[in-house]
Structure 1
Amino acid sequence: MSLRKKIIVRAPGRINLIGEHTDYNGGLALPMAIDRYIEVTVRPRTDELLVLWSPEFGGINLPLQDLRPAPGTWHTYVQGVCHALLEAGHRLGGFELDAGGNIPVGTGMSSSAALCCATVMALNALFELKLNRHEMALLAQRAEHTFAGVQCGLLDQYACLFAKKGYALKMDFSTLQFDYIRVELPKHSLLLLDSAVKHSLAATEYNLRKQECRRALELVQVRYPRVTAMRNLSVSHLQECVLHEDAVAYKRARFFLEENSRVEQAVAALKARDMAAFGRLLNESHRGLADLYQVSCPEIEKLWRMAAVRDNFLGARLMGGGFGGCTLNLTKMPASGGLASLGKEYAEFSGKDLKHYLLKSADGAQVTGHNAAHQLVVADGPLSGAPAALNPQTT
């Protein structure tokens, strides 16, 4: 391997149109990559040292043999990817990594997953590991589990790696199969309103929700042992076996069943270009997240209420892990209409400035630069390396 070799990877953030907190329960979701990115550049070294640098957050130097979780830092994700690769039997050497981008941290646009996916793709190219995108997704997820303490599903990683511009992915997390669903919004916009409340998916509440859902399934299995997954539950199961035993677990599982159904309805609405129906589903999803899953907060509720009474907003919901971050809003064009009054009202309520982001769809992560002989090599398309078993369909 030439020491002049340099790999550049750009990985997108994502929004999730609908299907929140369903991935780790084997449910359905509808994520879409967005035109905000994390970019990493890696170069080989002759020693076993990792030199990790971010212009925004600083850097760290450490031996490859001294990987350790550092929750709360950006480089814990890079270290986690290296640890996952080594555990899987891949050989690495020392390298330098620079990371930067324009995905706002803590907004629910999955900057951490983009960093993990960009890192594993860059190291795959640098050390010629021959990983496919499914394997990269699993390794990126493993990094978050072990070095960030977040028991996340695969929604973020799949959206980052398999996305296609102009489409969302209808993901089935019980099989890891997906279809491409066209998202056409010529007269509408997808607008994020940032509460400026920074959430942390490593917080205990996220992992607690996963445990509460598992509790509901276990209570059903006492009477119905053949029910092996959340997807197999019914409302009657919950009312019979869970409601009187654990009211909290009942709420969590009830939300999951309803949200799963909303994903199917949202796909139908997008295919029919029925934006009014899609907006109603966003509102229903938000009420479920706030009342049944209980992952909202006062600032998010204020943003939702403000949107609900404005004519050019068709629907809105909390997006991401919860307890802060952004609301996803479906608006009529122009999306900027009324933002000044929204900002003033929100500042009076919270004392915080209201940031907003207008987003477009994007392709999945790609190697955008490969400099071994001072020339640029354009990478393969977003589906390179996809396992044949996934069999994605375009709709």
Structure 2
Amino acid sequence: MTKEEIIILYQEKFGKETPEVYTAPGRINLIGEHTDYNGSFVFPGAVDKGITAAIHLNGTDKVRAYALDLSEYSEFGLNEEDIPNEGWAKYIFGVCREIIKRGGKVEGFDTVFSGNVPLGAGMSSSAALESTYAYALNDMLNLGIDKFELAKIGQATEHHYVGVKCGIMDQFISLFGKKGHLVRLDCKTMEYEYFPFDPQGYKLVLLDTQVKHELASSAYNKRRESCERAAAAIRKNHPEVQFLRDADMNMLDEVKNVITEEDYMRAKYVIEETQRVLDVSDALKKGDYETVGKKMYETHEGMSKLYEVSCEELDFLNDIAKKSGVTGSRVMGGGFGGCTINLVKDELHDKFIEEANTQFKNKFGYEPKVYDVVISDGARKL
């Protein structure tokens, strides 16, 4: 939605004043999956799809918010007991409360927002929403909060007001994203580095299975516990190993007989995935997208066979990608449904999409959703 369009819609709802307009993006993660809680690396990029909001201070202590895409209105105060009923409004309320808890002064405002981040596709529409309002309020009220703290405000909103114990990656990249670059974030030290990502002659395409298997949250917790047990076993021999990220395969093999086969497989995946992220870092510096693609396939294989978080639909799409000559393909996100992310040569793009749609429909009865994405800038004022 353009700046002009959202201003008109705001004025239809709230009156003639001209609001400020802010936007923040959703994201992809090229490689580095289930690594964040293991103190390792993730490799996200902001995308050209996000949330756009028109905002104007209203001189009261109330927030009046309208979600255009849902045609829903919510009004709430800024005290802890004022938490709204609407799920989407809890994100805006949570951001306000987390700023207040940190000593920031938040005033009432009127706002209208709209988004084009596909819901449920693992592109983090919720982080885009949090980042839009955190960035906007910080800017409009001259709060002087740095971007890292704004990311933590978004993360704390999820923890305290939405009930999702997420990591920091989604909010981080929504704020720190940079056009033509991916960011390698070290989840142990919070150090980050920009890497050029401008694959001439390739497209990034997401294929959304539209599947969300119920397993996801309980299985996520189980994987996490597996990794923690493996790290604890290694730590007995190597006290310096705080997370699996600090271990290597030799260390893991030393404890192979004292941990379960399942814990061994999960840990093996994480240790190998850490190395793949470093390999992709080197490849991106050289503009070597063939190696990037090869590592993406290896990640899919690891997530499917060792970490066991893929599903029939995702494996099927990965297989079609391989047969169609796609450079790289893997499940993106937690698994058990969602999208594959695919690095596709321009000349193969249309044929690949056609094949994927046809074969997937023949097998599962419907076509996957297709999203072409371009790596773009993070949160900003329009």
| Alignment pair present for 1:221 and 2:235 | yes
Report the counterpart of residue 164 of structure 1 in structure 2. 178
Report the counterpart of residue 324 of structure 1 in structure 2. 337
Alignment of 1:109-188 (within 5 A): 109-188=123-202
Q: What letter matches 1:184 in structure 2?
A: D
Taking only the aligned residue pairs, the percentage that are identical comes to 35
For the 8 Å contact 1:196–1:353, the answer to whether it is kept is: no
Q: 1:351 to 1:25 in 2, by over 3 A?
A: same
Q: What letter matches 1:329 in structure 2?
A: N
Distance in 2 (alpha carbons) for counterparts of 1:255 and 1:168: 23
Q: 1:42 to 1:199 in 2, by over 3 A?
A: farther
Please state whether the residue corresponding to 1:196 is helix, strand or coil: strand
Report the counterpart of residue 92 of structure 2 in structure 1. 78
**Gaps in structure 2 of 5+ consecutive residues:** 1-15
Report the counterpart of residue 303 of structure 2 in structure 1. 289
Q: 1:52 to 1:80 in 2, by over 3 A?
A: same
Q: 1:240 to 1:12 in 2, by over 3 A?
A: same
Distance in 1 (alpha carbons) for counterparts of 2:17 and 2:153: 27
Report the counterpart of residue 12 of structure 2 in structure 1. none
Distance in 2 (alpha carbons) for counterparts of 1:320 and 1:41: 30
Q: Is the helix fraction higher in 1 or 2? A: 2
Distance in 1 (alpha carbons) for counterparts of 2:216 and 2:45: 23
> Residues 267-288 of structure 1, C-alpha deviation per residue, up to 9 Å, x if partnerless?
2222223222221111000111
Deviates more, 1:295-304 or 1:212-221: 212-221
Report the counterpart of residue 381 of structure 2 in structure 1. 367
| Alignment pair present for 1:19 and 2:10 | no
**Gaps in structure 1 of 5+ consecutive residues:** 369-395
For the 8 Å contact 2:320–2:355, the answer to whether it is kept is: no
Q: 1:343 to 1:243 in 2, by over 3 A?
A: farther
Please state whether the residue corresponding to 1:226 is helix, strand or coil: coil
| Alignment pair present for 1:253 and 2:267 | yes
Please state whether the residue corresponding to 1:322 is helix, strand or coil: coil
Q: What letter matches 1:56 in structure 2?
A: D
For the 8 Å contact 1:32–1:169, the answer to whether it is kept is: yes
| Alignment pair present for 1:197 and 2:203 | no
Alignment of 1:288-367 (within 5 A): 288-311=302-325, 313-334=326-347, 335-367=349-381
> Residues 67-113 of structure 1, C-alpha deviation per residue, up to 9 Å, x if partnerless?
4486x932232222223222222222322232211110111111111
For the 8 Å contact 1:107–1:199, the answer to whether it is kept is: no
Q: CA deviation at 1:201?
A: 11
For the 8 Å contact 1:8–1:39, the answer to whether it is kept is: yes
Report the counterpart of residue 389 of structure 1 in structure 2. none
Q: What letter matches 1:362 in structure 2?
A: S
Q: CA deviation at 1:200?
A: 8.8
Report the counterpart of residue 115 of structure 2 in structure 1. 101
Report the counterpart of residue 55 of structure 2 in structure 1. 42
Q: CA deviation at 1:226?
A: 3.5
Q: What letter matches 2:60 in structure 1?
A: D
Number of aligned residues: 364
Please state whether the residue corresponding to 1:79 is helix, strand or coil: helix
Q: CA deviation at 1:343?
A: 0.6
Deviates more, 1:318-327 or 1:209-218: 209-218
Distance in 2 (alpha carbons) for counterparts of 1:68 and 1:213: 36
Q: What letter matches 1:298 in structure 2?
A: E
Distance in 2 (alpha carbons) for counterparts of 1:248 and 1:147: 34
Q: What letter matches 1:18 in structure 2?
A: I
Q: What letter matches 2:151 in structure 1?
A: A
Distance in 1 (alpha carbons) for counterparts of 2:101 and 2:219: 28
Please state whether the residue corresponding to 1:317 is helix, strand or coil: strand
For the 8 Å contact 1:7–1:125, the answer to whether it is kept is: no
Deviates more, 1:198-207 or 1:297-306: 198-207
Q: What letter matches 1:285 in structure 2?
A: T
> Residues 95-154 of structure 1, C-alpha deviation per residue, up to 9 Å, x if partnerless?
223221111011111111111111111121233211111111111111122223322222
Distance in 2 (alpha carbons) for counterparts of 1:166 and 1:187: 14
Report the counterpart of residue 379 of structure 1 in structure 2. none
Q: What letter matches 1:31 in structure 2?
A: P
Please state whether the residue corresponding to 2:225 is helix, strand or coil: helix
Q: 1:330 to 1:223 in 2, by over 3 A?
A: same
Distance in 1 (alpha carbons) for counterparts of 2:278 and 2:230: 23
Please state whether the residue corresponding to 1:195 is helix, strand or coil: strand
Distance in 1 (alpha carbons) for counterparts of 2:168 and 2:355: 38
Please state whether the residue corresponding to 2:55 is helix, strand or coil: strand
Report the counterpart of residue 8 of structure 1 in structure 2. 21
For the 8 Å contact 2:182–2:197, the answer to whether it is kept is: yes
What's the TM-score, normalizing by structure 2? 0.88
For the 8 Å contact 1:137–1:158, the answer to whether it is kept is: yes
